[in-house]
């Protein structure tokens, strides 16, 4: 009985060697598929190296090394991918997580000095400038598609947290008026929404003329200007 059990559990030498080789090849294939051996080669198993020569010489195996360096090299590309994803979310949501312009970029030299809001019609850009001349914020906007605003110096004369367009077809927030147009006041405000609540333009279109007279801003930027531009605040428009 004892011998019978032992014979049943014992592998013959040839079968044992074959089993060991098969197991080793399977492990190598699994590890290679997982990408843990990107540069290693084993003759006859997923190798780009030639098989043993007629003389029996084995090809040299490349060492499995430099994995940490390879991961570091991939990190910048992964970071850029995440940044691109963040930008896509930013355009869809209308919420800015990363300002598209340099906050320290100076306003146009022809915009004067002192505390002021500067609107450059050619650049479709706004600057909020503090008393000492430092820039609080700068960002792209969408001004009018018609030439209804002239370069010059103005002042904020009216503000409304919520407002309606002259034709009652859209609403906007954080309206800061500084002059009058042919049909209605001209000011800064958030991107308008129609009566169903849909925005009249995308955030991605900021930086190009899109409005019928006013200066449209991203909601967050509109609130920043609202907090900055009290009644009487100087507004400088340049071209």
User: Is residue 218 pLDDT above 80, yes or no?
Assistant: yes
Residues 225 and 134 in one domain: yes
Q: Tell me the residue range of the domain where 17 lies.
A: 1-48
| Model confidence pLDDT, tens digit, residues 120-151 | 999 999 999 999 999 999 999 999 999 889 99
- Asked if 91 and 204 count as a contact pair (C-beta separation under 8 A), the reply is yes
| Model confidence pLDDT, tens digit, residues 156-202 | 999 999 999 989 999 999 999 999 998 899 999 999 999 999 999 99
Residues 229 and 177 in one domain: yes
CA distance 131 to 116: 8
CA distance 180 to 131: 26
Q: Tell me the CATH number at 229.
A: 2.40.440.10
| Radius of gyration of the chain, Cα coordinates, nearest whole angstrom | 34
CA distance 106 to 130: 11
| Model confidence pLDDT, tens digit, residues 37-78 | 444 333 333 434 444 444 455 444 444 444 444 434 444 443
CA distance 127 to 69: 44
Q: Is the dihedral of CA 227, 94, 201, 170 positive or negative?
A: negative
Residues 113 and 90 in one domain: no
CA distance 2 to 194: 90
Residues 150 and 116 in one domain: yes
Using CA atoms, how far residue 81 sits from 14, 70, 73, 222, in Å, is 53, 17, 14, 29
Residues 130 and 43 in one domain: no
Residues 1 and 114 in one domain: no
pLDDT of residue 1: 41
Share of the chain above pLDDT 70, in %: 56
| Model confidence pLDDT, tens digit, residues 198-215 | 999 999 999 999 999 999
CA distance 50 to 169: 74
- Asked if 124 and 215 count as a contact pair (C-beta separation under 8 A), the reply is no
Angle made by CA atoms 141, 199, 117, in degrees to the nearest 5: 25
Identify the band that residue 236 occupies on the pLDDT scale cut at 50, 70 and 90. Answer: very high
DSSP letters, 184-223, are: SEEEEEEPPEETTS-BSS-GGGTTS--BSSSEEE-HHHHH
pLDDT of residue 39: 42
End-to-end Cα distance, the chain: 104
CA distance 208 to 108: 18
Residues 147 and 174 in one domain: yes
Residues 118 and 223 in one domain: yes
Residues 143 and 219 in one domain: yes
């Amino acid at each position: 009985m004892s011998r019978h059990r032992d014979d049943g559990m014992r592998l013959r030498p040839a079968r044992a060697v074959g089993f060991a080789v098969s197991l080793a090849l399977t492990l190598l294939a699994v590890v290679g598929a997982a990408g843990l051996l990107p540069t290693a080669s084993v003759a006859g198993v997923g190798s780009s190296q030639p098989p043993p020569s007629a003389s029996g010489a084995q090809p040299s195996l490349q060492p499995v090394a430099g994995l940490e360096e390879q991961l570091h090299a991939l990190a910048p590309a992964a970071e850029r991918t995440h940044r691109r994803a963040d930008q896509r979310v930013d355009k869809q949501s209308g919420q800015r997580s990363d300002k598209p312009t340099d906050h320290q970029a100076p306003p146009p030299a022809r915009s004067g000095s002192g505390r002021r809001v500067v609107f450059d019609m050619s650049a479709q850009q706004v600057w909020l400038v503090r008393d000492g001349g430092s820039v609080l914020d700068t960002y792209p906007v969408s001004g009018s598609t018609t030439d209804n605003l002239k370069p010059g110096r103005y002042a904020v004369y009216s503000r409304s947290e919520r407002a309606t367009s002259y034709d009652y077809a859209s609403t906007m927030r954080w309206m800061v008026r500084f002059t009058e147009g042919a049909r209605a006041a001209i000011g800064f405000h958030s991107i308008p929404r129609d009566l169903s609540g849909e925005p009249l333009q995308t955030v991605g279109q900021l930086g190009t003329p899109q409005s019928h007279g006013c200066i449209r801003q991203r909601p967050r930027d509109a609130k920043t200007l609202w907090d900055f531009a009290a009644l009487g605040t100087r507004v400088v428009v340049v071209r």
